[in-house]
Structure 1
Amino acid sequence: MISKFMLQDMNSFNSAIFGQDFNCDFLYLSGGLDWGNVPASHNTYNYPGQIGDTFSSTKINNRDITVEGYVFYTLSKDEQNLYLRDEWNDYAYSKIKQKKKILNELINPQHTLRFIINDYYIEGKPSSTPQYGTEEGDNNVYFCKFMFSIFCANPMFKKIVDSQTVLSGDYGGFHFPFILQDNMGYIIGTRINYLMLIVENEGDVAVGGEIKLTAKAEIVNPVIENILTGEYIKINKTLQQGEVITINTVDGEEKGITGYYQGVTRDYLQYWDFSNSWFKFEAGSTMIGYSTDNGSESELEVVVTINPAKYGLEEM
């Protein structure tokens, strides 16, 4: 069970901690947090005389997350000493109103909110502003009950830090403190170079990723291939030293191909081979290979970055 999470406004970057202890900004009790589920829609077809149907496609739908909790305030020892006992309630109520103002600003239906749970996050938009208790038992000088729902168009939990696989590149070997000794060689850096490597996707579904190609010398028509499926991405261009190509196969607005050379970034779609596939990285292991037309693989740095996506977290 998840006993604490952060909710962050991705527009203003204001945030608050929701949890099950009084050290949090807002309190929710057991059963007050519903992460929802991920419904699926299955499409089928059949032929005359066929028994049953055949699946043709599956659509993964959205998720609603509901939080029901309490705005509260407890006086510290210093505050209790600062105010008279008959002033405590009024002071606490003024603090509760301040916290309600914070919650009202945070739960903005026009803004994207991010739930952060340990190493993962999920994003959505509020379905409405917060709903507060209307009875005195739920809204008084001691606490105020609230409820809000977040609509997650993408129902998957993603990692805060992307997973990166280096097919070829340089790693530093120079570390401090560094002590010079006579008659001894030193490793300043190490270069790794693979023609094939496994990209691990620890999520539950196939995801797109970012493939970055950096030319250390002249590179002719580089190709990145999914060895298991035969899908590939070929760039019909001769890359110059220092030129960088970024291919993004993530679904949505990010998908595309750009190039960077001599301080200028521009669209590289004109070099895209139209037999290419915007291939994804399946859950589990995907074997990726790369090649060039001029045999310059050792001069090409290839970095694959993905963000695994999960239907749910083990703590839920």
Structure 2
Amino acid sequence: MMYEKLVYTNERGESIELSVGSVYHCNVSKDVDGIAGVTNAVYSTNSMGQHGDTYVGQRIEARDVDILGHINTRDKQQSYELRRRLLKIFNPELGGTLAYEYGSFKRIINCRLHGKPDVGRKSVLQQFSLQLDCLNPFWREEDEQKEDIASWVAAWHFPCVIEKDNSKSMIFGYRAESVIVDCFNEGDVSTGMRVRFTALGTVTNPVILNVDTGEFIKLNVTMQTGDVIEVNTKYGSKGATLTRDGVKYDYFRKVDVDSTFMQLDIGDNNFRYDADGGVNSMEVSIFYDREYLGV
């Protein structure tokens, strides 16, 4: 039997399922508010003699999710233990994620408990109410999307037969050089991304360019073999880091001043890569989430 369910997981990896099939009983379609749709604020301006207002911009507000349910047991000792577990996992000091699932459909959102769980006895069963703040109001898919612009593709596979007198060369891998890659954003809103530059040799001043808008991200740096630089353009997480010999360094200062922390627009986003030197010794990958207004 398929039914809607919510699964909350805190930073420690502890989870609770809220559904009609759980001991933490919750009818998601009736007892949960705030998982579908968003609230936006519209900004406008006006001047003397103007009829109406002039549109300036808008923003989507943070999402509030309110959950009502009850602990589905009449055993007092078990009810107490389940109540204690609810309070332990829904700890206001810990952030977490809320997953909505219905069959194979799944969406995830970051959240944090507002206040504390309100648990009290109503008639026979204990009732609980939870208020969650989702500062980033968008739901996302479980798996992050990845697009490779330049990478090495393995060509060695089993079974492998090597002839004793074979004079032909054997290809173990080849470089897939996609000059332009399309990061197609199927979500409802524009979203940030992580751009990963990996050096297979010496690379000087790597750059990634949005061929549709002319925006680019350039790093004024010489990368050594094995270096990995990631540039994050997501709101609240913007920055750049270098990983060298397993140690991470802040590399925000290496981002060219004319660079743009680009967002992926809805639909097509075409990118190409380049470098002042060692361009063929570089791998470039783009990671991003498809974000949605509701479930």
Fold conserved (TM > 0.5)? yes
The answer (yes or no) to whether the contact 1:208–1:281 under 8 Å persists in 2 is yes
How far apart are 1:133 and its partner, in Å? Answer: 4.4
Q: Which whole-Å CA distance do the structure 2 matches of 1:206 and 1:223 have between them?
A: 22
Gaps of 5+ in 2: none
| Structure 1 residue matching 2:234: 3-state secondary structure | coil
What do residues 217-245 of structure 1 show as CA deviations (whole Å, max 9, x unaligned)? 33222221111111111112232332222
> 1:52, CA displacement in angstroms?
2.5
Q: 1:265 aligns with which of 228, 231, 248?
A: 248
In the alignment, which residue of structure 1 is the partner of 2:13?
13
CA distance in 1, matches of 2:79, 2:247: 52
2:144 is aligned to: 162
Q: Report what 1:81 is aligned to.
A: none
**Aligned ranges 1:22-171 → 2 under 5 Å:** 24-29=22-27, 30-36=29-35, 37-73=37-73, 92-118=75-101, 119-136=106-123, 140=124, 143-171=125-153
Counterpart amino acid of residue 114 in structure 1: T
Q: Are the aligned partners of 1:66 and 1:149 in contact in 2 as well (CA < 8 Å)? A: yes
Contact 1:224-1:289 within 8 A present in 2 as well: yes
Structure 2 match to 1:283:
266
Question: What amino acid sits opposite 1:32 in the alignment?
Answer: D
Letter in 2 for 1:298: N
Match of 1:3 in 2: 4
Structure 1 CA distance, aligned partners of 2:122 and 2:226?
Answer: 67
1:299 lines up with 2:286 in the alignment = no
Does the aligned pair in 2 maintain the 1:168–1:191 contact within 8 Å? Answer: yes
User: How far off its partner does 1:4 sit?
Assistant: 1.3
Give the corresponding residue for 1:222: 206
**Residue type at the aligned position of 2:231:** I
Distance in 1, Cα, partners of 2:209 & 2:62: 32
Change (3 A) 1:274 1:179: closer
Give, in angstroms, the shift of residue 262 of structure 1.
4.3
| Identical amino acids, percent of aligned pairs | 26
Q: Alpha carbons of 1:302 and 1:185: their partners in 2 closer, same or farther (altered >3 Å)?
A: same
| Secondary structure class of the residue paired with 1:174 | coil
Structure number with larger C-alpha Rg: 1
Deviation at 1:134, TM superposition (A): 4.6
2-side partners of 1:2 and 1:289: how far apart? Answer: 44
1:230 and 1:170 map into 2 onto residues whose CA distance is 27
CA distance in 2 between partners of 1:167 and 1:275 (Å): 22
- Is 1:213 matched with 2:200? no
Displacement after TM superposition at 1:157 (Å): 0.8
TM-score (norm 1): 0.82
SS at match of 2:94: coil
C-alpha displacement at 1:15, in angstroms? 0.8
Q: In structure 1, what residue type is equivalent to 2:186? A: E
| Aligned residue number for residue 231 of structure 2 | 247
Please list the CA deviations of residues 102-146 of structure 1 after superposition, one character each: whole Å capped at 9, or x if unmatched: 11212222221311224421122222322234542xxx2xx3222
Deviation at 1:257, TM superposition (A): 1.3
Count of equivalent residues: 285
CA contact (8 A) 1:120 1:158 kept: yes
Q: Aligned to 2:80, what secondary structure does the other structure show?
A: helix
- The answer (yes or no) to whether the contact 2:242–2:250 under 8 Å persists in 1 is yes
Corresponding residue SS for 2:269: strand
Output the CA distance in 1 between the equivalents of 2:44 and 2:132.
Answer: 31
1:7·1:15 contact (CA, 8 Å) conserved in 2?
Answer: yes
Check the 8 A contact 2:83/2:119 in 1, yes or no: no
Q: Is the 8 A contact 2:4 2:100 kept in 1?
A: no
Deviation at 1:270, TM superposition (A): 3.4
Instruction: Report the RMSD for the aligned CA atoms in angstroms.
Output: 2.3
Q: What 5-or-longer segments of structure 1 have no aligned partner? A: 74-88
The more displaced of 235-244 and 191-200 is 235-244
SS in 1 for 2:265: coil
The list of structure 1 runs, each at least 4 consecutive aligned residues, that deviate by more than 6 angstroms after superposition, is none
Q: Which residue of 2 aligns with 1:174?
A: 156
- After superposition, the Cα gap between the structure-2 partners of 1:43 and 1:26, relative to the gap in structure 1 and judged at 3 Å, is same
SS at match of 1:217: coil
Secondary structure in 1 matching 2:276: coil
